[in-house]
Amino acid sequence: MRIAIALLVGTSLALSACGTGTSQEATAPAVTGGVDAARIIAAKPAEWLSTGRTYDEQRFSPLTAINQDTIGKLGLAWFADLDTNRGQEGTPLFIDGVLYTSTAWSMVKAYDARSGKLLWSYDPQVPRETLVKACCDAVNRGVAAWGDKLFVGTLDGRLIAIDRKSGKPVWSVVTLDQTKNYTITGAPRVVNGLVVIGNGGAEFGARGYVAAYDADTGKERWKFYTVPAQPGTEQEPDYLKKAAATWYGEWWKQGGGGTVWDAMAYDPELDLLYIGVGNGSPWNQTYRSEGKGDNLYLSSIVAVHAKTGAYAWHYQTTPGDSWDFTATQHIMLADMEMGGQKKKVLMQAPKNGFFYVLDRTNGKLLSAKNFVPVNWASGIDMKTGRPIENPAARYYKTGKPFIGSPGATGAHSWHPMAFDPKSRTVFIPANLAAFPYIPEKGWKANKLGFNVGVDIAAAAMPADKAVREAAMKATTGALIAWDPVAQKEKWRVSYKGPWNGGLLATGGDLVFQGTATGDFNAYATKDGRKLWSFPAQTGIVAAPISYELDGAQYVAVMAGWGGVWALAPGILSDKSGPSRNISRLLVFKLDGKAPLPPVPPLTAMPLDPPPSTASAAEIAAGGARFGRYCSTCHGDSAVGGSIVPDLRHSAALNDKATWQMIVHDGALKDNGMVSFASIFSAKEIEDIRAYVIHRANEDKTLESKPNAR
């Protein structure tokens, strides 16, 4: 029994932090200047002061030393191994000679940007059992800077101010109800001296909001809810009263959803903060709102007055969302000529597959076209701004499964886009992956696991070679260069699989992107020709930045495979090839000569499960529970991704008592695997073990056949 637990710990859900609190590794350079609005707005080409570089979130670096003529000399300047093997999604900041970045588990690190020496490391000591509240890994997308402080949101819901020079915490506030299933993975933004942060949890029963905190004291200044409360329980502003008319039933029991977990942008001239709002809770509108209503402000772009948090306008991309079609994807601002007139525009390519251009002064829709194949709608009605829906897409009304394209992971997920203002081109990291939406009869919410109202277990991948091959063939990815004025594709780089990294465009007419295959590439802005590639040894999902120091241009990116695609899709997790997590910060410059250590071997473990002896009823019952409560982390059909244990290989399959100690008693809660005793009996937990044993034997048989997958 002890041996089995030790084996599970060795391949546990999370790697425990190597240290706690603040560690000093080298003397930090003096903080030479505070970060304020003027500095961010007029950002020097050498700097990267905010997660999107500037408030418009264009992720464009004007630097030109690394260009199409010099790219062949680009090499690794230095790298830093990280003390976590979860997904790395952070965008570093470069301020006054220092790179600041967040890592998985909401840790923050500062490096000398010349040499890569670690200056300090801060660990907020997020309780590892928080992972059960997170839909998509223990990731963190970045920090914000203001004055002499950095700000990070933690997975367990705190907003922490850190002294930029010492790495010591200055203040910490809890931004959410920690008894509920909220998390924070997004990067804060700071405007008008207010630190703005949202949260996630719409798959688990949360009510969304975004809030602003005083950068000096941490005191809450305003809060903006995206979903109305239970009628009669709050004195609500007019915008929420209007929203309530679009909701039905008792939506508040599951919070309604609408979490603001990532995208924000800011226009300092208009003093408008733009936020992207997430999906409903649950997805299935039958259980959320009696199957009717637009359900404002789900899946919407909302503008609020940044000083007060007062509502300004909104545009809803997916009324009555029932497909997890969030509008939390990257929002970018630009001034462009459209129809012979100069327009202040907002651009977004959300999950639903359409590229939207809005007038950011008033939210008016200017244009919308699909950038990937879409089957849930045939287009956008420009008179109403609403999608022209395919009736079959409303699976809960038809009672029939709907294979939606795009699927729940989105035509474009959180991975940042980039915009080249010279060529007026948007670069989109696109996913081409469908999802089977199967209505679940008699669904009821629970306090653990996904609460989405669709039958995830019924959609599990069968141990059928032909079905698997078809699914693999249909699942791909692409880098799409998009003309936002003409609303058409300029060029495309096709990838083997989805979930490729965020983007950086530069004044050197280059586009940088990491891939799920473990390459870090540079492409020509004009036509997408690959001009350079570096083998990163791990999948890259984060977006790069560029900075200049001592007259030399650098490109930096966080490497480390992770996120929901590395967890939930089962065999599709490895569509781009066997991916692994080697978490590092990689920094490049011209004539860089630093070598990476040899890539460690990737050994495929043979399947050697105990015999399947349970009844068909027990296996079916276990499969239903696994699909809803376990597959999000441990993979569709119990086929694990590369950053969590593949339970088909677990030693605990051989021992009922060990399995119970882990799943029932929570023996590995400090590694993220909490107890499920509050919702499962011992018999129900044993049925899950029976299902995993059955699946392991199915796959063992399948793998023994020639050319099987």
Q: What span, in angstroms and rounded, lies between the C-alpha atoms of 585 and 120?
A: 15
pLDDT of residue 315: 98
In the residue annotation, 112 being an active-site residue is answered as no
Q: Please state the separation of Cα 144 from the chain's center in Å.
A: 17
Contact call for residues 553 and 66 (beta carbons, < 8 A): yes
Write out pLDDT tens, residues 256-272.
999 999 999 999 999 99
Mean local confidence (pLDDT), 463-486: 96
pLDDT of residue 707: 63
Question: What confidence tier does 48 reach under pLDDT thresholds 50, 70, 90?
Answer: very high
Residue 2 has pLDDT above 90, yes or no: no
Mean local confidence (pLDDT), 114-122: 98
Nearest-CA neighbor of 567 among 155, 128, 14, 5? 14
pLDDT of residue 9: 32
Nearest-CA neighbor of 230 among 252, 206, 202, 205? 252
pLDDT of residue 624: 95
pLDDT of residue 32: 60
Question: What confidence tier does 36 reach under pLDDT thresholds 50, 70, 90?
Answer: very high
Write out pLDDT tens, residues 560-619.
999 999 999 999 999 998 888 999 999 999 999 999 999 988 888 889 999 999 999 999
Nearest-CA neighbor of 48 among 122, 182, 145, 190? 145
Write out pLDDT tens, residues 12-24.
333 333 333 344 4
Residue 1 has pLDDT above 60, yes or no: no
Q: Retrieve residue 171's tokens.
A: 């203040």
With H, G, I as helix, E, B as strand and everything else as coil, classify residue 477: strand
Question: How many of the other CB atoms lie within 10 Å of CB of 508?
Answer: 21
Mean local confidence (pLDDT), 233-241: 96
Question: What confidence tier does 30 reach under pLDDT thresholds 50, 70, 90?
Answer: low
Q: What span, in angstroms and rounded, lies between the C-alpha atoms of 352 and 431?
A: 11
Write out pLDDT tens, residues 438-448.
999 999 999 88
Q: Is 249 exposed, middle or buried (0-12, 13-18, 19+ CB in 10 A)?
A: middle
Q: Mean pLDDT check: name the lowest of 30-44, 229-243, 391-405, 479-493.
A: 30-44
Q: Retrieve residue 317's tokens.
A: 């991309």
Q: What span, in angstroms and rounded, lies between the C-alpha atoms of 569 and 642?
A: 11
pLDDT of residue 337: 94
Which phi and psi angles does 270 have, rounded to 5°?
A: -85, -15
Question: What confidence tier does 253 reach under pLDDT thresholds 50, 70, 90?
Answer: very high
Nearest-CA neighbor of 572 among 493, 646, 648, 635? 635
Q: What span, in angstroms and rounded, lies between the C-alpha atoms of 388 and 606?
A: 49
Give the helix, strand, coil percentages of the chain, each rounded to 5: 20, 30, 50
Identify the active-site residue in 156, 324, 455, 636. 324
pLDDT of residue 20: 33
Contact call for residues 208 and 229 (beta carbons, < 8 A): no
Q: What span, in angstroms and rounded, lies between the C-alpha atoms of 160 and 611?
A: 50
Q: What span, in angstroms and rounded, lies between the C-alpha atoms of 562 and 580?
A: 9
Pairing of strands 503-506, 60-61: parallel
Which phi and psi angles does 309 have, rounded to 5°?
A: 80, 10
Write out pLDDT tens, residues 604-662.
888 999 999 999 999 999 999 999 999 999 999 999 988 888 999 999 999 999 999 99
Q: Mean pLDDT check: name the lowest of 221-225, 352-356, 460-464.
A: 460-464
Q: Where are the alpha helices (DSSP H) in 307-443?
A: 395-398
What is the torsion angle, in degrees rounded to the nearest 10, for the CA atoms of residue 534, residue 535, residue 538 and residue 544? Answer: 0
First to last CA, the chain: 32
pLDDT of residue 704: 85
Q: What span, in angstroms and rounded, lies between the C-alpha atoms of 648 and 607?
A: 7
Total number of residues shown for the chain: 709
- Counting residues of the chain whose pLDDT is more than 90, the rounded percentage is 91
Q: Retrieve residue 251's tokens.
A: 């939506």
Residues 6 or more apart whose CB falls under 8 angstroms from that of 111 comprise 80, 98, 99, 100, 101, 117, 118, 119, 585
Question: What confidence tier does 31 reach under pLDDT thresholds 50, 70, 90?
Answer: low
pLDDT of residue 577: 87
**What is the reported pTM?**
0.95
Nearest-CA neighbor of 212 among 196, 225, 198? 196
Write out pLDDT tens, residues 379-435.
999 999 999 999 999 999 999 999 999 999 999 999 999 999 999 999 999 999 999
Contact call for residues 194 and 146 (beta carbons, < 8 A): no
Q: What span, in angstroms and rounded, lies between the C-alpha atoms of 424 and 447?
A: 47
Q: What span, in angstroms and rounded, lies between the C-alpha atoms of 141 and 470?
A: 33
The widest CA-to-CA distance across the chain, in whole angstroms, is: 73
Average pLDDT, the chain: 94
The DSSP secondary structure of 17-78, one letter per residue, reads PS--EEEE-SPPPP----B-HHHHHT--TT-B-STTSSTT---EE---SS-TTTGGGEEEEE
Contact call for residues 168 and 160 (beta carbons, < 8 A): no
Residue 10 has pLDDT above 70, yes or no: no
Contact call for residues 199 and 208 (beta carbons, < 8 A): yes
Mean local confidence (pLDDT), 74-86: 97
Q: Mean pLDDT check: name the lowest of 249-253, 282-286, 552-556, 672-676.
A: 672-676
- Stretch (H or E) spanning 658: helix 656-663
Distances (CA, A) of 105 to 258, 517, 599: 23, 24, 24
Q: What span, in angstroms and rounded, lies between the C-alpha atoms of 245 and 249?
A: 11
Write out pLDDT tens, residues 367-378.
999 999 999 999
- Stretch (H or E) spanning 338: strand 331-338
What is the torsion angle, in degrees rounded to the nearest 10, for the CA atoms of residue 314, residue 318, residue 319 and residue 320? Answer: -130
What is the torsion angle, in degrees rounded to the nearest 10, for the CA atoms of residue 58, residue 64, residue 65 and residue 71? Answer: 80
Q: What span, in angstroms and rounded, lies between the C-alpha atoms of 491 and 330?
A: 20
pLDDT of residue 13: 31
Q: What span, in angstroms and rounded, lies between the C-alpha atoms of 362 and 271?
A: 13
Mean local confidence (pLDDT), 502-527: 98
pLDDT of residue 382: 97
